Amino acid sequence: MFIIDPNIQVWMTLFFVVGAIGLYTVEKLPMEYISIALMGVLLLFFQIFPVPGPDGRNLLDAARILEGFANPALIAVLALLVVGQGMVNTRALTHVVQSVFLLGGPQPALTRILALIFVLVISAFLNNTPVVVIFIPIMQALSDRLGASASSVMMPLSFAAILGGMTTLIGSSTNLLVSSSLIELGETPFTFFEFTLPGLFLASVGLIYVLFIAPRILPDRATLANTLMGESGKQFIAQITVLEDSKLVGEESAAGIFPSLRDMTVRLILRGEHAELPPFDGFALRPGDVLVVAATRKALTDALGRGAGVMHTEFSVPDDGEEAKELGLGEGDQVLAEVMVTPASRLIGQNLEQIGFRYKFSSIVLGLQRRSRMIRTRMTEIPLEAGDVLLIQGGSESVQALRGHRDLLLMEWSAMELPAPNLARRANLIFLGVVGLAASGILPIVVSALLGAAVMLFTGVLNIRQAARAVDRNLVLMVATALALGSAMQETGAAAFIADGVIGIFGFSHPAVVLSVFFLLVAVISNVISNNACAVLFTPIAVGIAAGLGVDPKIFAVAVVFAANCSFATPVGYQTNLLVMGPGHYRFSDFVRAGFPLTVILWLVFSFFAPWYYSL
């Protein structure tokens, strides 16, 4: 170990910080590689050139640099991601969303406004990423109703979620990380609703822009969307049985279409021994009716996702409950996949009942696709032919067991996990419990979040594999690295050096001016690196500037929260921007066009509102 001039350590720390920002910005290497390399460099440098404390101990030893991996805020964020994944898997918000659509009635424009307001509200209590994941297909359907392209609604969806995340402590991982950094700096952390009022004011102004201005700025990319990303029109023949508790009971067709099956073509209805053919005018469905329909994979998946009462499969019959469990067709961990009947298959010439498909393969057939054939009969009575594609549902192990099967070819790309709507109430109760315990202060946020994640696992809402997939390793490594850099800035005096420099330049100005300039600086940086890394790096600087100006550090810490969340101008600043980039068919320039004005608006609003609110 070598003791060197503290000023050299300050400049080296600033070099590491600038290097981290540069590497994260250019993205020449995967973010995991950059984070691991930076962590290694910090460990090596401060092991060779330690920062001695009053007792001679190295203030930046391996334990201090690596403690970010055990940071309570990071653990709380990861646990909340698991809770959010439970909400996604069960489509727990479906009924609320349906209520929003009912309020909108026949006016799609009003429905769009209500949907984005709901996204903003729910994002205050649920991590933004699962909220956007849940709403992407909903907003796609809404854009179809509006007769507009998906590009007009996807970016507003992401922006509304980010705005909602500004309003409570758990609304965004950024907020939790700033609060955790305050603790490490010896300051009082945020309470749950510490910045809710100013956050709501900024979010309300931002939402007006998102609702009425952003859609007019965004390009119309309908043609590109239809060409590149449009869903395959491949139709499957499927069979739906109307049960006693089905929502289909009593439904009458209007112009040959049943309201609950508007995205399917009903080709035949079997009632006892009688077969009813289209157009079904005045025909009301009864329990026991069997509907033979043609539908795309997406339509069938959506019907399953709506839960009991719309689409029923064989094991949905109450008497088959135990049998279904034995076949692995029970709650959760269900997979939808396509399999093709091979040319030399022993199944050719037999129908599904003769094969005993669900017993033989522990899966059920939801649909059958046969090219260029119009089939009007029970799906279970159709003799299979080579090349037939079956849409099957089963447990993940049962579906994966079909790999290499001589009679069926599993199309690996088609496998997709199904939602478990029958667990939605359970997921909602767990989510409300987490929010209630954290908001009331009965338990710390990290404890309530971990407890919620554990309950999601032990009650079967998620399995361990699904929970593990919800944990973002990029987030873990990036945040831990940013926390290590933050510790280095604090212990070497680099944060104080930057704070003194800012005060030296703007010290003659009113604190409100310094606050405004600082907000703008953080907002710009948050658009080129992760908002989480930006928050961790700038919180020590914020506290230093506040101390130099003699004002409450919380004011500048709140500025970090809001500014780091202003990641609107690029797709790389916030994960939800990346999520909507594909469905909206955006280019990088689209985010600059629509997001930069929003960043400027929020900066101006904060610059005038915050000094008044905090009596600067």
Which tens digit of pLDDT belongs to each residue from 561-613? Answer: 999 999 999 887 788 887 888 778 888 888 999 999 999 999 999 999 999 99
Give the pLDDT band (50/70/90) at residue 164. Answer: very high
Mean pLDDT of 264-287: 80
Cβ distance 427 to 359 under 8 Å? no
Give the pLDDT band (50/70/90) at residue 305. Answer: low
C-alpha–C-alpha distance, residues 502 and 512, integer Å: 13
Considering the domain 244-316, what is its CATH architecture?
2-Layer Sandwich (3.30)
At residue 105, the pLDDT reads 66
Using CA atoms, how far residue 256 sits from 277, 293, 472, 591, in Å, is 10, 12, 47, 43
- Give CATH 3.30.70.1450 domain extents, the chain: 244-316, 333-417
pTM for this one?
A: 0.74
Mean pLDDT of 543-568: 95
C-alpha–C-alpha distance, residues 142 and 100, integer Å: 12
Cβ distance 313 to 336 under 8 Å? no
Mean pLDDT of 127-136: 83
At residue 566, the pLDDT reads 95
Q: Which residue has the higher pLDDT, 397 or 124?
A: 124
At residue 97, the pLDDT reads 72
At residue 242, the pLDDT reads 83
pLDDT of 224 strictly over 50: no
pLDDT of 477 strictly over 50: yes
Mean pLDDT of 147-167: 90
At residue 38, the pLDDT reads 93
3-state secondary structure of 185: coil
Task: Report the Cα–Cα distance between both ends of the chain, in Å, rounded.
Answer: 47
Cβ distance 240 to 270 under 8 Å? no
At residue 363, the pLDDT reads 83
Cβ distance 481 to 38 under 8 Å? yes
At residue 568, the pLDDT reads 95
Cβ distance 111 to 100 under 8 Å? yes
Q: Which CATH homologous superfamily contains domain 333-417?
A: Regulator of K+ conductance, C-terminal domain (3.30.70.1450)
For the ranges 430-434, 435-439, 482-486, 556-560, the maximum mean pLDDT occurs at 556-560
Closest CA to 192 of 175, 207, 213, 177: 175
Mean pLDDT of 45-60: 90
Query: Residue 269: how many CB atoms within 10 A of its CB?
Result: 23
Give residue-wise pLDDT tens across range 393-451: 887 788 888 877 888 888 766 566 666 667 888 898 999 999 999 988 899 999 999 99
Query: Residue 129: how many CB atoms within 10 A of its CB?
Result: 26
Percent of the chain with pLDDT over 90: 35
Q: Which residue has the higher pLDDT, 222 or 63?
A: 63
Query: Which residues share a beta bridge with 293?
Result: 238, 266
Q: How far is CA 348 from the centre of its chain?
A: 43
At residue 514, the pLDDT reads 94
Closest CA to 182 of 569, 559, 566: 559
Give the pLDDT band (50/70/90) at residue 225. Answer: very low
Give the residue ranges of DSSP H helices in 493-530.
494-506, 511-525
C-alpha–C-alpha distance, residues 107 and 149, integer Å: 17
DSSP type of residue 54: T
pLDDT of 271 strictly over 50: yes
At residue 209, the pLDDT reads 97
C-alpha–C-alpha distance, residues 578 and 365, integer Å: 35
For the ranges 209-223, 278-292, 339-353, 354-368, the maximum mean pLDDT occurs at 339-353
Closest CA to 577 of 77, 162, 74: 162
At residue 373, the pLDDT reads 58
Cβ distance 180 to 73 under 8 Å? yes
Q: Which residue has the higher pLDDT, 369 or 477?
A: 477
pLDDT of 327 strictly over 50: no
The number of C-alpha atoms within 13 Å of 493 and in the hemisphere containing its C-beta is 13
Mean pLDDT of 286-310: 72
C-alpha–C-alpha distance, residues 15 and 492, integer Å: 13
Query: Residue 257: how many CB atoms within 10 A of its CB?
Result: 16
Query: Which residues share a beta bridge with 288?
Result: none
